[in-house]
């Protein structure tokens, strides 16, 4: 995942201080990509991808079941609220 734009957490995109807890974000992105087939924030334009990451603008296709969506959202919510280590 290292160096892959689509997996960067908001702190890295905004060049803020971060620690190993950003790996929680990456797990959520990976779950999304495994279910959907593409990263959640991917666009044709790198700057737009950055913006979608910072604003957490992911959209689920209809084929992704609500329980799967909840799993991914938990990683985002937990990441922002508690930033717990894996």
Whichever domain contains 35, its CATH number is: 1.10.510.10
Range of the domain at 60: 18-81
pLDDT string in tens for the chain (86-residue length)? 556 789 898 888 999 888 877 888 888 899 999 999 999 999 999 999 999 999 888 789 999 999 999 888 877 766 665 554 54
Spell out the alpha helix ranges (H) of 1-86.
10-13, 23-36, 46-54, 66-81
Comparing C-alpha atoms, which of 60, 20, 17, 69 is closest to residue 41?
Answer: 60
Does residue 31 lie within any of the structural domains? yes
Does residue 10 lie within any of the structural domains? no
Query: Which residues, in sequence order, are CB contacts of 30 under 8 Å at separation 6+?
Result: 1, 7
- What total of structural domains would you count in the chain? 1
- pTM score: 0.79
């Amino acid at each position: 995942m290292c160096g892959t734009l689509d997996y960067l957490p908001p702190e890295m995109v905004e060049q803020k201080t971060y620690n190993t807890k950003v790996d929680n974000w990456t797990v959520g992105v990976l779950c999304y990509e495994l279910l959907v087939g593409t990263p959640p924030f991917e666009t044709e334009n790198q700057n737009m991808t950055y913006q979608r990451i910072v604003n957490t603008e992911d959209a689920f296709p209809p084929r992704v079941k609500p329980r799967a969506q909840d799993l991914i959202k938990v990683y985002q919510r937990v990441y922002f609220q508690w930033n717990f280590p894996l």
